[in-house]
Structure 1
Amino acid sequence: MKTWSEVITFVILTISTFAFDSHQNPAHVTRFRKIPAEDVVFDGAVKDYISGSRTRCAMSCIPRTQCLSYSFQKSSGRCLVFNRRVIYGIQMTSATGFQHYWRVTDHCPTTQGFFILEGSCVKVYETQVTWQDAESTCETQGAHLFAGQTEREMYTAESVVNSRGSASRNYRFGAWDHDKNGTWFWVTGAKVTSSTWQSGAPNGSRSKICAETVTYSAKQITANKCSNLNPFVCHVILG
């Protein structure tokens, strides 16, 4: 149940964002979505200041066409604005009290090769690259490696690979054990659930810390070396 304060903040952000984006591109509306990353703060902000409220923090992100995410710490009123989508495990340090938001859109960029399948906006790349290069490529498209945080999304992933890729190949997905401690996260900061894994995976190897799909069963993932070359699937989160 949302509090009145949260409802009012959502309305203000939606109206303000709509007003800005409608002027720039009347066909699309941009919103923000909270990601589940916890107990971390991301480095490399293009703006770091005391905004006093999350609404003001978000408002400072709206006019910046290159702003892809922001973070807000309620206890201090600190606001961090980023020109990249903050990715769990990349350029971050431990910290408490921060909430992180991605800029999302209602538009799937089909002119860039993306397509909508079962509500997910995705693109399959057959080029074989490392996990890090795959994530970087997705980011240049305003996306990230596919993060199947629910059983439905994992079944969608299998449909994506079967319809636009090859079931006989292993595709890179956006999960990894960046701390090499056996705890796996999606790039959003959500923990990978046990039902997502192939039987017997992950096996605790400190050299195999990046995820890829299982051959002929893309609704499950397994662990492999980040340096291995694989095709991959990019995912745009729609608001």
Structure 2
Amino acid sequence: MLHLCLYLTSYLSCYLCGDWTGNNIQLHNLFMFCFSNAFFVLIYGISVLAVKGTSCKMSRYKEMVLIVQGIIWISGIILASGTCPARVWKKIPLAGKLFSGITSETAVLSVKGCAEKCTEAVNCKSFGFNTASKKCYLYDVLIWAGGLSADEADVVYYWALKDRCPTNLGYTQDSSGSTCAKLFSDVKTWEDAMKECDQHDGHLFLVDAPFKKDLILNLTQNSSSTYTYLGATDGNIEGDWKWLNGVTIPIASPSEWIPGRPDNYGNSQHCMAFKKESGSSGLDDRDCADPSPFICEIPMNEG
């Protein structure tokens, strides 16, 4: 019976390693815990074989082995607790669309199973899950509103979040730890800027929360450029502006846009930029082909 309990403990410690809160999915890396449990069981089995059939003088040896086993097991828990979160995904508002660029399609039982598939894939950065058909779609980019897509009901999307802001690459993190961003002064088209951000597992900057307006001002205060690309577009439906995560941008809001914008001048302005000029800084629509500096943001795990 003791042998069975030990094996079940080792197995369950490896299996019960996920947490789903509805908007976020977190899978845990319990390798050290699982390894220590397996090692614990192995040593115990060897000690039983070594002691079995010997004289009672070996009882002290057996007790010492059990103590060592306990120390190894507890150490495994401590090591695991320090490196527990392995990957975290955040549910984004995008839904009801099936985006192109799928790298893998399979059937799974749940959204957590889809997250596990994304973990196993080498370059998976986001995934979609059809809650009706149970199909799992993996992507090697962060899926964004405005990308090529077709209607498909019941599909929800998750982005992979990062645990650390790459400050060694010039990114800075706000005081709350929720935003990691960098201003790139070299000019690119909106699409090329998106590709640059994707190389860092990020996207163009989103002003999807009030506090991020101040972050834009801080990031661009030393920039000599009038325009800086941000992560929003109305490329799919004219006038339907959305941040890349699917959050709608109110057109009528005077606090968001500079006066008279968006105006789709020349029927070619479908990409978002921050326009900085005296007395009228704010959001502006811009031709996606016009080169501009840009701000990249890396989605962060706030927990």
TM-score (norm 1): 0.86
How many pairs does the alignment contain?
A: 229
1:136 CA drift (Å): 0.7
User: Secondary structure of 2:30's match?
Assistant: helix
Q: Please, which runs of 5 or more residues in structure 1 have no aligned partner? A: 1-6
Partner of 1:228: 290
Structure-to-structure mapping, 1:43-82, within 5 angstroms: 43-82=100-139
Partner of 1:101: 158
For 2:205 and 2:283, the matched residues in 1 are separated by 11
For 1:151 and 1:20, the matched residues in 2 are separated by 40
Contact 2:96–2:153 (CA<8 Å) still a contact in 1? yes
Which of the residues 256, 261, 268 maps onto 1:196? Answer: 256
Q: Which AA in structure 1 matches 2:29?
A: F
Contact 2:182–2:296 (CA<8 Å) still a contact in 1? yes
TM-score (norm 2): 0.69
Is the deviation greater in 203-212 or in 30-39?
203-212
For 1:219 and 1:73, the matched residues in 2 are separated by 41
For 2:277 and 2:299, the matched residues in 1 are separated by 25
Name the Cα RMSD after superposition: 2.7
For 1:188 and 1:13, the matched residues in 2 are separated by 17
- When residues 13 and 19 of structure 1 are mapped into structure 2, their CA distance, relative to the original with a 3 A threshold, is farther
Which of the residues 30, 39, 60 maps onto 1:19? Answer: 30
- When residues 74 and 27 of structure 1 are mapped into structure 2, their CA distance, relative to the original with a 3 A threshold, is closer
Structure with greater helix share of residues:
2
Contact 1:20–1:62 (CA<8 Å) still a contact in 2? no
For 2:93 and 2:294, the matched residues in 1 are separated by 23
1:133 CA drift (Å): 0.5
- When residues 19 and 128 of structure 1 are mapped into structure 2, their CA distance, relative to the original with a 3 A threshold, is same
Partner of 1:4: none
Partner of 1:141: 200
Q: Which AA in structure 2 matches 1:181?
A: E
1:91 CA drift (Å): 2.7
1:35 CA drift (Å): 1.0
- When residues 220 and 20 of structure 1 are mapped into structure 2, their CA distance, relative to the original with a 3 A threshold, is farther
Larger Rg: 2
Partner of 2:211: 152
1:179 CA drift (Å): 2.1
- When residues 232 and 13 of structure 1 are mapped into structure 2, their CA distance, relative to the original with a 3 A threshold, is closer
Q: Which AA in structure 2 matches 1:59?
A: E
Partner of 1:3: none
Partner of 1:176: 233
Higher relative contact order (CA 8 A, sep 6+): 1
1:191 CA drift (Å): 0.9
Q: Please, which runs of 5 or more residues in structure 2 have no aligned partner? A: 1-17, 33-78
Q: Deviations over 1:117-147 (max 9, x none)?
A: 3442001100011111111110111110001
Contact 2:130–2:155 (CA<8 Å) still a contact in 1? yes
For 2:189 and 2:230, the matched residues in 1 are separated by 11
Identity %: 24
Contact 1:197–1:222 (CA<8 Å) still a contact in 2? yes
For 2:207 and 2:182, the matched residues in 1 are separated by 14
Is the deviation greater in 100-109 or in 36-45?
36-45
